[in-house]
Structure 1
């Protein structure tokens, strides 16, 4: 992904990216996006990057010995630090939908921001909303006060986040609306698709915002909009 595309993707929201994928594919039916309402620590935050995946759990204490747990945690941080940039931490909480372990707070957001990552996507829990690292968006399944018995279960394996499957290295776009996996086959077409979609939407939006907009103006605008989409 070149710098121009990265800058463009950081400037648009996730619904725009979802629409642009359909434009690039020439059809509807794309479904690699999250389901349900997600929460964010930064309503204006946008994360774009390649997924570094992991699984955690927190309801029950880990069954393995402390040395094994610590070794896996260190391997987790190493993977996050050394993943290809730009990168997004994509962490599945295996306790979902009963997740309690607030893995994402002041400490972990600061660490992952220090690693140069673009943000975190999880079906799990976040906390420390007033003390998270600045400019490090987190899109999460819930908010809670405690980390419980949180521990890492796996690293660099496929994960499920709110109905969306994510594999290590998948290109992620996420914001306050949720997240999407960008199919690799559309990456080279994505910039043009975003521009086409935005230009096409103007055919309806500009008349709708003008004085005197009525059904006749709508019908003419919508006809032009449909013609431009085909």
Structure 2
């Protein structure tokens, strides 16, 4: 992707992730059953607005002791940071904990959140764990598996490859939308169509909600509202 061909992702942060998922059902109905997280996540800061960015994928390990030298591990780590820093921006780190018991140790904490934020990353979706909850970089979002106190043998295994986190398959540069509900991969061809799809969906739902919130609401009103909602174009 060139800078001239990149879509404006910032507009998509206006809406929460469930709204984006609903709108994608209208644009790419074949994606209805996949492309999003399907497991419970622990959100670092539920008050933050949604994050939208290009995926920087990696696999990590925390439980298993390293077999490589400290120099090899350090070289891979700096190469990973170089990868995270690369364009396009903004980015979202998507990291799969490759242990049999993912989340035993924390990949994310005070140091990693500040480094990633400084390299242009808005947040992370990870099957690993997090810690240092009061000291993580401000306005950096994390959706993690759990909260634990130790990072154990935290290390990067590889990066830039396909990963699967909470049932969501992600590739390098996939567009990720995430908030306290979870995350979803947005096909790049759907980005420009999403605002109109969200508007249509909201107008359809508004008809049903108006009826449901009426003090005299009954089954007859519901039938009428559903019919009227289906006619909204």
Q: TM-score range by the shorter chain?
A: over 0.9
TM (normalized to structure 1)?
Answer: 0.93
Q: Which of these residues, 26, 30, 36, is aligned with residue 33 of structure 1?
A: 36
Match of 2:179 in 1: 175
| Residue pairs, 1:52-67, within 5 angstroms | 52-67=56-71
**Pair 1:106-2:110 in alignment:** yes
Mind listing any 5+ residue stretches in structure 1 that lack a counterpart?
Answer: none
Alpha-carbon distance change, 27 to 202 in structure 1, aligned in 2, over 3 angstroms: farther
Runs of 4+ in 1 over 4 A off after TM superposition: none
Alpha-carbon distance change, 219 to 187 in structure 1, aligned in 2, over 3 angstroms: same
Deviation, structure 1 residue 175: 1.0
Q: In the comparison of the two structures, how many residue pairs are matched? A: 227
User: 2: distance between equivalents of 1:7 and 1:167?
Assistant: 20
Q: Per the alignment, in what secondary structure is the counterpart of residue 52 of structure 1?
A: strand
Q: Per the alignment, in what secondary structure is the counterpart of residue 121 of structure 2?
A: coil
Deviation, structure 1 residue 67: 1.1
**Pair 1:79-2:77 in alignment:** no
Deviation, structure 1 residue 80: 1.1
Deviation, structure 1 residue 153: 0.3
Q: Which of these residues, 19, 22, 30, is aligned with residue 19 of structure 1?
A: 22
Alpha-carbon distance change, 49 to 9 in structure 1, aligned in 2, over 3 angstroms: same
Mind listing any 5+ residue stretches in structure 2 that lack a counterpart?
Answer: 1-5
RMSD (Å), alpha carbons: 1.6
Deviation, structure 1 residue 96: 5.1
The superposition leaves residues 50-93 of structure 1 with CA deviations (integer Å, 9 ceiling, x where unpaired) of 00111110101111111111100000111112241021011111
**Pair 1:204-2:208 in alignment:** yes
Kept after mapping to 2: 8 A contact 1:172/1:181: yes
Match of 2:147 in 1: 143
